C-alpha cells in the first residue's frame, strides 16, 4: 500500500509539474506576441516622411515592395514595373535606418518619365481639373508637365519665405517640430477643381496641409496623386476625406 501511495504521489507531482511547464510556455508565448506587437507599432511610428533635395525615403523595416496604384499592380501594366525599376534605392540615407527612394534616376529615362506623367494625365483628363498644385520640391518636377497636358494652371506650394508678395499659409506637425506650406493669394479661385501632386506620400502630413490650404482659399481638392507611396496608401485610402492615388509602392 505504501508503494502504491508513493507511486500515486509521484504521478500527481509529475502532472502538476507538466501543467506548470505548460503555463510557463503559454506565458512566454503571450509575452513574445506582445513584444512583437509593440515592435510592429514602433516600426509604424518610425515611418516618417523624409524629404531631401534629391530623393524620397521610407523606413528600412517598412516591409514594402514593388506595387501599383488602386487600379492594379505592375503585373497589369508594364509601365508601372518600369517606373518602379527606374527608382534607385540608396541604403541608410540621409541617416541610418532609411532606404532612400531616389527619383532622379527615373528622370534620366525619358520614356519612363513620360510614362509616369502620361498615367497621371490619363487618369485626370476627364475630371475638369482647373489647377495642379505641386508641393515643394519634387512636386514641381511632375506637376507642371501634368498641368500643361491637362490644359490647367500650375500652382506652387512652397516652404516659408520662398514666395514674393502676399501669401496664405498652413502649418503642419512633423515628428520633431512643425513646418509650413505657403501659396500666393489669388492663385486659386472659389470652386476651382484642384489636383495635388507630390512625389511621395508616407505619413500624409504634408498632403493634408496642402488640402487644408487650398480649401481655405475656396478651392475643391479632387484628389492627391504621388509617384511613390507606402502600402497603406494603395487602394481607397483617403486624407482629410480626399482620395490618394499612387503609381508604385516604396522599394527596399
Distances, alpha carbon 139 to alpha carbons 15, 26, 98, 103, 187, in Å: 68, 51, 21, 11, 17
Distances 120 to 37, 102, 246 between C-alpha atoms, Å: 37, 20, 9
CA distances from 112 to 32, 63, 97, 100, 147 (A): 45, 25, 29, 19, 18
CB 247 within 8 A of CB 80: yes
Q: Which residue in the list 79, 138, 158, 251 is annotated as catalytic?
A: 138
Active site residue 138: yes
The residue behind cell 498615367 is 119
Cα–Cα distance for residue pair 42/24, rounded to 1 Å: 27
> And the C-alpha cell for 75?
503585373
The C-alpha cell that represents 13 in the structure block: 507531482
Place of cell 495642379: 132
Confirm if 224 and 233 have CB atoms less than 8 A apart: no
Residue with cell 475630371: 127
Catalytic residue among 41, 70, 76, 175: 175
Q: How far is CA 139 from the centre of its chain?
A: 14
DSSP string for 26-68: HHHHHHHHHHHHHHHHHHHHH----EETTEEEEEGGG------
Active site residues: 138, 175
Amino acid at each position: 500500500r505504501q508503494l502504491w501511495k508513493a507511486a500515486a504521489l509521484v504521478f500527481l507531482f509529475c502532472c502538476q509539474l507538466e501543467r506548470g511547464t505548460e503555463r510557463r510556455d503559454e506565458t512566454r508565448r503571450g509575452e513574445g506576441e506582445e513584444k512583437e506587437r509593440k515592435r510592429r507599432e514602433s516600426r509604424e511610428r518610425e515611418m516618417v516622411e523624409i524629404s531631401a533635395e534629391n530623393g524620397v525615403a521610407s523606413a528600412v523595416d517598412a516591409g514594402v515592395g514593388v506595387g501599383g496604384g488602386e487600379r492594379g499592380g505592375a503585373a497589369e501594366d508594364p509601365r508601372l514595373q518600369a517606373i518602379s525599376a527606374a527608382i534607385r534605392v540608396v541604403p541608410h540615407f540621409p541617416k541610418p535606418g532609411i532606404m532612400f527612394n531616389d527619383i532622379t534616376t527615373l528622370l534620366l529615362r525619358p520614356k519612363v518619365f513620360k510614362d509616369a506623367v502620361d498615367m497621371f494625365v490619363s487618369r485626370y483628363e476627364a475630371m475638369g481639373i482647373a489647377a495642379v498644385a505641386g508641393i515643394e520640391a519634387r512636386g514641381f518636377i511632375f506637376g507642371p508637365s501634368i498641368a500643361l497636358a491637362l490644359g490647367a494652371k500650375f500652382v506652387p506650394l512652397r516652404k516659408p519665405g520662398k514666395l514674393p508678395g502676399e501669401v496664405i499659409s498652413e502649418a503642419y506637425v512633423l515628428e520633431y517640430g512643425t513646418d509650413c506650406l505657403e501659396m500666393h493669394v489669388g492663385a486659386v479661385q472659389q470652386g476651382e477643381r484642384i489636383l495635388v501632386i507630390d512625389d511621395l506620400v508616407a505619413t500624409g502630413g504634408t498632403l493634408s496641409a496642402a488640402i487644408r490650404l487650398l480649401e481655405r482659399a475656396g478651392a475643391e481638392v479632387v484628389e492627391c496623386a504621388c509617384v511613390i507611396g507606402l502600402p497603406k496608401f494603395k487602394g481607397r485610402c483617403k486624407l482629410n476625406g480626399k482620395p490618394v492615388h499612387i503609381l508604385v509602392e516604396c522599394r527596399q
